[in-house]
Amino acid sequence: MTKRILSLLLAVTSFLSLRADEGMWPLTLLNKIQDKMQARGMKLSAEDIYSINNSSVKDAVVRLMQNGRMFCSGEVISDQGLFLTNHHCGYDAIQSIATPQDNILSNGFWAKSLQEERPAGFQIGMLRKVQDVTEMVFKGTKINDDETTRSQTIAANLKATQTAMLESLGEEKKNYVVDVAVFYNGNQYLAMFYEVYRDIRLVGTPPENVGKFGGETDNWRWPRHTCDFSMFRIYAGADNKPADFSKTNAPFKPKHHLPVSIKGIKEGDFAMTMGYPGRTTRNTYSEGIIYLSKKERPMRVQLRREIMDVYEEHMKADKDVRLMYSAKLAGIGNYWNKFGGEAKELSKPEIYAKRKAEEKEFENWVRTNNKSEIYGDVTSLFDEAYSELNKIGLYSVYLQDGISNSVPMTSALRMSAIYKSLQDKKSDQGKAMAAQYGAGISEMYKEFNGNIEKKVLAVVFRRLMEDLDLQYLPASLKNLATKTKNNYDLMAEMAWAKSLFADTNKLKKFCSKPSASALDKDLIFTITNQYINILRGDLAPRISEVNKKLERANRLFLAARAEMYPTTTFAPDANATMRVSYGTVKSYNARDAVKYNYFTTAKGISEKYIKGDFEFDAPDKLIELINKKDFGQYADPETGELFTCFLSDNDITGGNSGSPVINGNGELIGIAFDGNWEAIASDFGFMPNLQRTISVDIRYVLFIIDKLGGATNIINEMTLVK
């Protein structure tokens, strides 16, 4: 059964109408699309892009990681381990290094020597190989097994498989992470072997008003003029292997680095991205589209916007607060914008109608081909799951987007396990745990402003009380609302006044002499603790049942589609593994009477520039260089202008930030950093006429390094193709 399903999957068709250029393709499928890529203008072979035994393009693509979590992509551009990513990807690292006295976030930073480079505080993973482990994971299962039993077997097999893959590395395992990733909604499993380098250092970053020019106003919009890049270097031990930070480490020698083209681009040129797209759900059920567009996405947008309003009010008034909260605002704002666009686009009736038609086609196929025994309950499982999500889905959403965006409430969440241990007065474990917690308080509260956090607390209280069923809200929160007659500012004031989590000195003192009774009196703790207990208690069985139904329905649906269309290859949904997408440099018609060119120039910076503005300020020197047209070798050879950003019709999503955009010869022409507003809902369906990747032109990056930063040492390190 397993082999039959897998062979069908390799010839499955997409749920949507496919075109040759749709898809974020796993490296294992490159041979299937090589001819189509070469027909678009690629001069490389599949082996040139991904080879296990020889150096290939994939050896120049990195996965940015922090505490095991992937968050962006990047590309190696020198034989000394220099790599590029987006400015917004390096933002946290840059902010953590910056101080009010040496504000490199605002002013920019360029290391003129290796000795000036600064530890960045994250890691990178380099993909070394991919191995199909589906048979190992499926051992002892059948396609239509009871979902609980099947899930338990799969989970045990996954753990054993991951352990076996790691052990197969021998002594090298200490430097590796092996992820077993799920493809085709649980119909295939691939093991990804990442060699993890731990000594990463900041080499260069433009000033914030260059790397983030346009702010939230321009986010997801075209035309763009953002020079969204930052530069880091990988360091290694004496054997070129991963090592902890040490002054004796040397720049990493990569197997491959990307040459950098300054020849320029034109419409129709081949463009390929390689990176780590996060998540797409292009088979979302029709009722899921309604849930997302009418409830889940609008609620996320509202909650995030209210928190952002608090941040911005204080950031505009105090430059030190702006530095402290810049990364937080950027993190919340990016997906606030995206979720808003998705809610709007997914509300369009034609999207729902298309899904319903495809689901009807599926149901007819099941009946006609007597497949009800395996696939007959798929649509009913979807219907039941989304009916339940409409009732309880927001409780998890508000934990993620509300409580987790409050420093005191997040800190209180981390205290929950300590509280349980403290209740056992016969054990000293709680005291030991509290002492360990106390050692990390300064780090937890490094981005903390009391005036901001108190207002954020009021926002969270409001949204919990007004948007959720009171039946499943903390009793302490409801009692506080009753006392204050739903005055949310007063609720926040009362909870704040005596809370340990609003004052680091009180919290540190508590950790030196902890007690469960002190936490029982703390309103921020009791509200947060009761909320998480409700999620893990009363709501847990219902949430678990929803997840089981969705997992089964999604898996069976794709397995059925494989049988329905056995001759067409398609790319699985993105899942934070390395993917390739291909297309061409391309303009687009955004709407009636609006056609967008495929590139922008430095003229647009001058046109948008507002001195001292929160979003559209720019360095005086940059404006002077633009006015003088002092672009050097980075000017476009045909127009004499400095290209800033460009469009291509590559298929990407979140996680691709920082991905290289590569021409047909395997040379770097840009860095992907955004998608366009008109295709904001592309995670749910490819939009060939509208979907565009927005990238910063590599010539603009080099211009900023050279002409604005004066860091010719960095330019000289690269392999420039003229």
The span from the CA of 274 to the CA of 24, in Å, is 9
The span from the CA of 464 to the CA of 534, in Å, is 13
Residue 98 burial class via C-beta count within 10 angstroms: exposed 0-12, middle 13-18, buried 19 and up: buried
CB 369 within 8 A of CB 361: no
* Residue 473: C-alpha distances to residues 222, 469, 520, 532, 609 (Å): 42, 7, 17, 10, 48
Please tell me which residue in 88, 649, 659, 683 is annotated as part of the active site: 88
Catalytic annotation on 92? no
What contacts 128, CB < 8 A, 6 or more positions away?
52, 176, 193, 194, 195
For 162, other C-beta atoms within 10 Å of its C-beta total 18
CB 28 within 8 A of CB 132: yes
Q: Where are the beta strands (DSSP E) in 487-587?
A: 579-584
Peptide bond into 223 cis (omega under 30): yes
The span from the CA of 579 to the CA of 581, in Å, is 7
CB 600 within 8 A of CB 645: yes
Task: Give the dihedral sign, CA 573/574/580/584.
Answer: positive
Q: Tell me which DSSP letter residue 574 carries.
A: P
The span from the CA of 546 to the CA of 287, in Å, is 14
Measured at the CA of 277, the angle between CA 271 and CA 283, to 5 degrees, comes to 105
The span from the CA of 299 to the CA of 307, in Å, is 13
As given in the structure block, the two tokens for residue 227 are 């020079």
25 strand-pairing partners: 580
Q: Virtual CA dihedral for 200, 202, 203, 205, nearest 10 degrees?
A: 140
Catalytic annotation on 630? no
For 393, other C-beta atoms within 10 Å of its C-beta total 19
For 177, other C-beta atoms within 10 Å of its C-beta total 18
Question: Distance of alpha carbon 478 from its chain centroid, rounded?
Answer: 35
Question: Distance of alpha carbon 588 from its chain centroid, rounded?
Answer: 26
CB 197 within 8 A of CB 236: yes
Measured in residues, the chain has a length of: 722
Measured between alpha carbons, how far apart are the two ends of the chain, in Å? 54
Please tell me which residue in 228, 401, 522, 573 is annotated as part of the active site: 228
Measured at the CA of 400, the angle between CA 451 and CA 577, to 5 degrees, comes to 125
Three-class SS of residue 177? strand
CB 408 within 8 A of CB 453: yes
Please tell me which residue in 261, 581, 648, 657 is annotated as part of the active site: 657
Question: Distance of alpha carbon 448 from its chain centroid, rounded?
Answer: 24
Considering all CA atoms of the chain, what is the largest pairwise distance in Å, rounded to the nearest integer?
A: 80
What contacts 653, CB < 8 A, 6 or more positions away?
24, 277, 278, 279, 280, 574, 675, 682, 683
Measured at the CA of 437, the angle between CA 434 and CA 440, to 5 degrees, comes to 155
The span from the CA of 45 to the CA of 579, in Å, is 16
What contacts 331, CB < 8 A, 6 or more positions away?
none
Catalytic annotation on 225? no
* Residue 23: C-alpha distances to residues 63, 101, 282, 627 (Å): 20, 47, 11, 41
Active site residues: 88, 228, 657
